[in-house]
Structures are given as C-alpha cells and as structure tokens.
A and B are shown apart, each in its own frame.
Chain A
C-alpha cells in the first residue's frame, strides 16, 4: 500500500512546520535555511520574486524533492506519511492538455491516492468526482475532452481534482494564473470556504494587488522565509520592498505602515 495511510493528527499540531530547509537542484540553492510554521486553518499566499523557491517550497512540503538539510512536518509527521491528508494543485501549464482523456477522468485521478496501487476507480469514486465537479460548476462538462477546455475551465478541473481528495492541507501552485475574472472569483470563494472549514491552504500567488483580498496570511519568500504572518502584520510596503529589492510596482495597497 501507499505510504501515508496515517489519518490521525492532533488538532493543535501546525499544518506545516518547516525548519532550516535547504534544497538545491545542482546550482545555487533554491531554498536556503527556510523556516515556516503554518497553523491549521491558515489561508496563506506565498509571494516572492522569480526564482525565490516558491514552487520548491510546495514540493518540499509534499516530500517530492530531496532535501540537503532541514526538517519538514505536515500535521506533525513526515510528508511521506501524510499523503492522504494533502492535496496538490500543480501549475496548470505543467501538463499536456491535449492528452486524450475526459474531464471526469482527470478529476478521478484525485482518488488514486486513496485507492493505492493497482485498484481502479469504481462507482463510488465516480460519484465523488462528479460531486467535486458540481462544486466547481463543471458537472455538465464531465464527459468533455480536456483538449476542448478554456484556461479557466482547466483550472476548475484541477481544483475539482484536489477537492475530491478531501484533504486537510492544500498546496496550490498559481491557481489564479491565466483565468478569467469569474473563475478567479469562484477559486477565491472556494479557498475561503475551505479555510472556514479548518482546512489549510498554502498557495503560490503572483498578483500582489489581490493578495489582501483573497488571503488572510502571507509568506514572504526569497530563498529563505523573510516574513510570515497575517496580511496586516507582514504584507506592507517595507517588507515588500525588501523582498523585491525596492521595485514593487505601484497599485499594491499599503495596508500597514512600514
């Protein structure tokens, strides 16, 4: 069986606890001595410049990149033992949308973790997948080929696939990238809804202007975690200038004095 069938966790354990994490892909370190602690129920954006290690942080939290040093705990355990409690939404552009399969089939992939090796999805999994598609207002497209979807619909399919995992912690890589305003709104409300139910969300996000609107917490990352806290505490011009080397574009609301 797949590892990660351990479903018990203590309610007071942090959703994600990263200490001294260093990851490298051979050249410069992608993450250097990063520390991060995220309570359950957090709705957090990871922001930082290109190459800051945002996607790497997610992958380390998923336990799929080798660590040079440091410790990662998801709900108090090694990520490899928490796979059943974690859902991952990769970048939409990381897959080949011309792949010959249907919308429902992609959502069903979210049930593979619970099924484990060899077992195939059945009627129960189909019902769960359809229900997730309904939540993303995509049920009428269940039989559609994924090659025929718009960018916003592709992202909804990915989120439905994450929903079907019924996880505690959601790691998302730029879920708002390249979607229309309506989809953006429904993704945001889905995130809020999940966080309200005590689920934890850590999402890489590029649009600084919408961070305060869609998120409650921010992780300011540039190889190391420079600041983490509520939007009010950490998402202000002083911190952002430091994070982006003083080149933060206008239009980012100044929420707190620096």
Chain B
C-alpha cells in the first residue's frame, strides 16, 4: 500500500509539474521554475514558524505567496533597467534561497526540515504522513496537496487556454485586446508557485525543476501544437515518474534521483531522435545536400550531348571519390547516363510524358 501511494504521489506531482512547466518553456522562461523552487524555501520556513502547525493548509498558501514575492521582486529589479530578465531572476532567487537556508539552520523550523530534503525531497516517507479528517484516514497529505495543485493547473489551463496561449505568444496583442496579460500571467505564476510548493515535500527543489522543464522541453521536439505539447509533456512526466520509481526500487535508493534522471534521459533521447532533434535535422540536411549534388551535376549536362567526366569534375572542384559517389547516385536516380568506356556523362533523353 505504501508503494502504491508513493507511486500515486509521484505520478500526480509529475503531471502537475509537466503541465505547469509547458507554458514556462514556451515563453522561454524555464529558469522561473528554478527560481520558484528555491525562493519558496524561506516561504515554507517562515510560514511554518508563524503558523507552527505543519498540517495547516495555510502553510502551502504562505509558501506559494513567497514565490509571488520573488516574481514581483524580479519584475521590480528588471524595471530598474540595470540587468536583463534572466539576470534579475539570478539576483533575486539565490538571495531568497540563502535566507531560507539560514532560517533552516537557525532551527526556526524545528524538526520540519532535513537539509537533504531541500534538494531531493522525501518521497519515500511522504506516504506515512497521513491526512486525517474527523478521525478518518484519507491517505497521505502529500497526495492531497499535489492533487489540489494538479486540479488548479488543469482548471486554469482548461478555462484560460486561449488567453494563456495569446499572452505567451504575443503579450502586446493581448494587452490591446484587453486581456490584461500581466495580471493573467501573474495569476498563472501563482498557480505554478503553488505547484512548486505542493511538490516540494515529495520531490525537493531539483526534482521539481527537472519535472517542470524536461518533459515539455522534450515534447516540443516531437509535436508542434500547444495542445499536443501539453498532452505529450504530461505523458512524458508520467513515464518519468513510473520509470524513476521502478529504478529506485530496483536499486534500493530514494526515487527522487531516478525520477529526475529518467526525465533527463527522456529529454536527451528526444533531442537525439525526435523530428526536430539533432539526428533527424542532420539527416534532412544530408538528404538535401545529396539532392543538390545530383542537381549540380545534371545542370552541367544536356540530353544527348556527352561530356568528359574529368571536365565536369574539374568545374565542380570535387574530389574523385565524392564525384564518383554522386555520379553513381545520379545514374540510379536522376536519369544520367555514364558511358564508362568513353569516360563521358550525358543526360538521358526525356521520356515523353515524364
């Protein structure tokens, strides 16, 4: 049963992260996930110190609010015009994270945190922390918090898909149409921030980033429609969760590391194999080049007027090996006639109707 809940928490976390990360990747602000994953730490500690009850749902809300504080601080730093968007994020989140680490070491949070939980969470123990209402056991608390996050994310995307897409692609048009892109974006980041906080306990800061960015970054290499990217990112997130969980069981280690590794491996695999990946692009390029080579040879020939091989090769400036290979391809594919005895090339007379 514990294993079931571990897997359930991992799956819901992966799904919520992948969906909320998709628009970050599309808006080219993937680093925001990293920023949130670090900036919410002081939020969690402070909220815990203030509320004193680690079971309170207010803890999640307080910590998520810290994520929004970070976003607003980043926007304020950027507005000064001293540093660009990425750099202002880089200035703000390490500062907040260091405050969080300080507070953690000052023991403000009591026994709430172990230092290593910050990095990779504590998925293995999460199922043991139960949510009880009126004496009834409703399952692990972490499962419920990531489920709420998933519900918020899917609800937001389902309701405001058109608006999110518009503000991601063209915020200026969104503003001119009255869709208030800044406010919608901020509301969206609030949901993302909540997702980060809810995933934090089970997944830790590094795994959250991996689950938010790797699946959508892999998905954009396969499909080219925002809906399909959302769907595929969700599937890849789930696959990472299951694969990571199995891997962790097999190797008898905590599942967080293997999950992040699986997500990374899926991305690398996509980068290599997907239609927009490296191999296919290279193949398409080679294919194009090969066709161009044949065309270059054919352009120097006329039907029924043989030309000396060497003079054609000299015009093209190709090595004999390359030239022979192209001629061989051209003879089989493009209607070139190679008279080996005379050492000449000519175009075959055009067939009627071809």
Within the complex, the shortest CB–CB distance from B267 to chain A, in Å, comes to 16
| A12 is an interface residue with CB less than 8 A from chain B | no
- Which of A91-99, A205-213, A218-226, A245-253 makes up part of the contact surface? A91-99
- Which A2-38 residues have C-beta < 8 A from chain B? 2-4, 26-27
- Which A103-136 residues have C-beta < 8 A from chain B? 106, 109, 112-113, 115, 117-121
Asked, given contacts A100-B225, A120-B161, whether A64 binds B175 with beta carbons under 8 Å apart, the answer is: yes
Contact yes or no, B162 A64, CB < 8 A: no
With a CB–CB cut-off of 8 A, which chain A residues contact B220? 100
| B166 is an interface residue with CB less than 8 A from chain A | yes
Contact yes or no, A64 B176, CB < 8 A: yes
Contact yes or no, A120 B162, CB < 8 A: yes
Contact yes or no, A2 B177, CB < 8 A: yes
| B84 is an interface residue with CB less than 8 A from chain A | no
Contact yes or no, A117 B176, CB < 8 A: no
Contact yes or no, B161 A88, CB < 8 A: no
With a CB–CB cut-off of 8 A, which chain B residues contact A2? 177-179
Interface centre among A2, A100, A145, A171 (most CB of B within 10 A): A100
Contact yes or no, B169 A96, CB < 8 A: yes
With a CB–CB cut-off of 8 A, which chain B residues contact A239? none
Contact yes or no, A62 B176, CB < 8 A: yes
Contact yes or no, A88 B173, CB < 8 A: yes
Cα distance A12–B317 in the bound complex, in angstroms: 72
| B289 is an interface residue with CB less than 8 A from chain A | no
Asked, given contacts A94-B172, A145-B224, whether A109 binds B166 with beta carbons under 8 Å apart, the answer is: yes
Contact yes or no, A26 B226, CB < 8 A: no
- The chain A residue sitting closest to B165, CB to CB, is A101
Contact yes or no, A112 B162, CB < 8 A: yes
With a CB–CB cut-off of 8 A, which chain B residues contact A171? 176
Within the complex, the shortest CB–CB distance from A197 to chain B, in Å, comes to 21
- Which B207-228 residues have C-beta < 8 A from chain A? 220, 223-226
Within the complex, the shortest CB–CB distance from B274 to chain A, in Å, comes to 13
- The chain A residue sitting closest to B174, CB to CB, is A112
| A152 is an interface residue with CB less than 8 A from chain B | no
Contact yes or no, B176 A86, CB < 8 A: yes
Within the complex, the shortest CB–CB distance from A92 to chain B, in Å, comes to 11
Q: How many residues of B contact A (CB 8 A)?
A: 27
Contact yes or no, A83 B225, CB < 8 A: no
| B168 is an interface residue with CB less than 8 A from chain A | yes
| A230 is an interface residue with CB less than 8 A from chain B | no
Within the complex, the shortest CB–CB distance from B175 to chain A, in Å, comes to 4
With a CB–CB cut-off of 8 A, which chain A residues contact B26? 99-100
Contact yes or no, A109 B178, CB < 8 A: no
Asked, given contacts A26-B81, A99-B26, whether A94 binds B170 with beta carbons under 8 Å apart, the answer is: yes
Cα distance A238–B162 in the bound complex, in angstroms: 49
With a CB–CB cut-off of 8 A, which chain A residues contact B229? 100
Cα distance A192–B5 in the bound complex, in angstroms: 66
| B79 is an interface residue with CB less than 8 A from chain A | yes
Residue in contact with A62 in the complex, picked from B169, B175, B179, CB distance below 8 Å: B175
Cα distance A171–B172 in the bound complex, in angstroms: 12
With a CB–CB cut-off of 8 A, which chain A residues contact B175? 62, 64
With a CB–CB cut-off of 8 A, which chain A residues contact B170? 90, 94-95, 109
Residue in contact with A80 in the complex, picked from B79, B159, B178, CB distance below 8 Å: B178
- Which B176-219 residues have C-beta < 8 A from chain A? 176-179
Within the complex, the shortest CB–CB distance from A45 to chain B, in Å, comes to 20
Within the complex, the shortest CB–CB distance from A86 to chain B, in Å, comes to 7
With a CB–CB cut-off of 8 A, which chain A residues contact B224? 100-101, 145, 147
Asked, given contacts A86-B176, A120-B161, whether A109 binds B169 with beta carbons under 8 Å apart, the answer is: yes
The 6 lowest CB-CB distance pairs between A and B, nearest first, are A113-B177, A88-B176, A64-B175, A100-B224, A90-B172, A2-B178
A-B contact pairs, 14 of them (CB 8 A): A83-B176, A86-B176, A88-B172, A88-B173, A88-B176, A95-B169, A95-B170, A99-B26, A100-B226, A112-B179, A113-B177, A117-B179, A120-B162, A171-B176
Interface residues of chain A, those whose CB is within 8 Å of chain B, are 2-4, 26-27, 59, 62, 64, 80, 83, 86, 88, 90, 94-96, 99-102, 106, 109, 112-113, 115, 117-121, 145, 147, 161, 171
Task: Known pairs A59-B172, A100-B229, A145-B224; list 19 more (Cβ under 8 Å).
Answer: A2-B178, A3-B178, A26-B79, A26-B81, A64-B175, A83-B176, A83-B178, A90-B172, A95-B169, A96-B28, A99-B26, A100-B224, A100-B226, A109-B170, A112-B177, A112-B179, A117-B160, A118-B159, A118-B160
